Amino acid sequence: MKIGFIGLGNMGAPMAANLATAGHRVTGFDLVAECPEGVSQARSAAEAAGDRDVVITMLPNGAILRRVADEILPAMRPGAVLVDCSTVEVDAARDVAGAAEAAGLGFLDAPVSGGVGGAAAGTLTFMVGGSDAAFETARPLFDIMGQKAVHCGGAGNGQAAKICNNMILGVTMIATCEAFALADKLGLDRQAMFDVVSTSSGYSWTMNAYCPAPGIGPQSPADNGYKPGFAADLMLKDLRLSQQAAEAADADTPMGQAAMALYQRFVEEEGGAGRDFSAMLPRFEGRGRG
């Protein structure tokens, strides 16, 4: 396929490189980043999007997606499909889907989980909203960039799945970290805590697969000085999106709200910016209730 790829940052560059390695003709554009090997350079987003079967965007946020969509939709070939893999507001995805449809184009919101490691290894999970036809067009590309693509329904449903998943992740990480910090104060050894919880009803992905305690459980960012991994700043972004969506939909999400407030304090006031989101454990360590 002829593919345009816009947004070649930490995630986009390895995803575009994997498509090129698999034999697709990939043309890339980024305001700052260089094209990875195998991807030819366009001079503008519109040039990257023109005359392609599929255009993929991997951008920082919804405001930028809206701006880029305004620029590229008029340049795209009728019948082509725009696949946005960024994490953005459900509303932004649905608005861009409407604009694409009006222009005779397909649109999928297809945010990912799996992080930079998954992008490089081609093992991302895609959560996809949009039509069956657009999903079938993009499916071979999801198979290259990832190990799983779940079609979640109509436009915006991929973003809905992503923010619900990450709201659970943020809440669960905090619960795991505060439990470790309590265990410390109760004199419980961290390895014993892991051995019990990871095989008991408190088990979770954050405990079993991404344990926030250094030296415990499988290798995780905690074993690498809390270098991300998945940065606390990105977790805060996703929790904000979840609370914005909850507000718009009038959904009661007290745990998501509390997790957002804690990550906001951690990132903005407590030195959490640029650290892995599991660095909540050293934040809780030694703190009292005051």
- CA torsion 213-215-220-223 (nearest 10°) is 100
Q: Which stretch binds ligand NAD (CB under 6 A): 108-116, 131-139, 196-204, 257-265?
A: 108-116
Using the structure block, give the residue that is written with the tokens 């960039």: 145
Residue in 86, 159, 243, 253 binding ligand NAD, rule: CB under 6 A: 86
| 162 included as an active-site residue | yes
Category of 122 on φ-ψ map: left (φ > 0), alpha (ψ -120 to 50) or beta:
left
By CB under 6 A, residue 38 contacts ligand NAD: no
With both helix axes pointing from N to C terminus, report the angle between 157-185 and 190-197 in degrees, rounded to the nearest 10: 140
* Cβ within 8 Å of residue 256, ≥6 positions away: 167, 170, 171, 239, 242, 243, 246
Stretch that binds ligand NAD, among 112-120, 173-181, 200-208, 274-282 (CB under 6 A): 112-120
Binder among 4, 14, 16, 30 for ligand NAD (CB under 6 A): 30
Size, binding site for ligand NAD by CB under 6 A = 26
Residue with tokens 């990257």: 48
Torsions phi, psi for 150 (to 5 deg): -105, 120
Closer residue to ligand NAD (CB): 111 or 180: 111
Is residue 106 classed as helix, strand or coil in its secondary structure? strand
Q: How many Å apart are CA 113 and CA 111, to the nearest integer?
A: 7
Q: Closer to ligand NAD by CB, 56 or 281: give it.
A: 56
Q: Which is nearer to ligand NAD, 33 or 258 (CB)?
A: 33
- Cβ nearer to ligand NAD, comparing 73 with 183: 73
Range 164-203, binding ligand NAD (CB under 6 A): none
266 and 272 Cβ atoms separated by less than 8 Å:
yes
Residue nearest to ligand NAD (CB): 9
Q: For strand 81-84 and strand 25-29, is the pairing parallel, antiparallel, or unpaired?
A: unpaired
Catalytic entry in 148, 162, 185, 237:
162
Pick out residues in 216-235 that bind ligand NAD (CB under 6 A): 230, 234
Does 87 bind ligand NAD (CB under 6 A)? Our answer is yes
The SS3 assignment for 137 reads helix
Backbone angles phi, psi at 213, to 5 degrees: -95, 125
9 contacts ligand NAD (rule: CB under 6 A): yes
Residues with active-site annotation: 162
**Interacting residues toward ligand NAD by CB under 6 A:** 6-12, 29-33, 45, 58-60, 64, 68, 86-87, 112, 115-116, 230, 234, 237
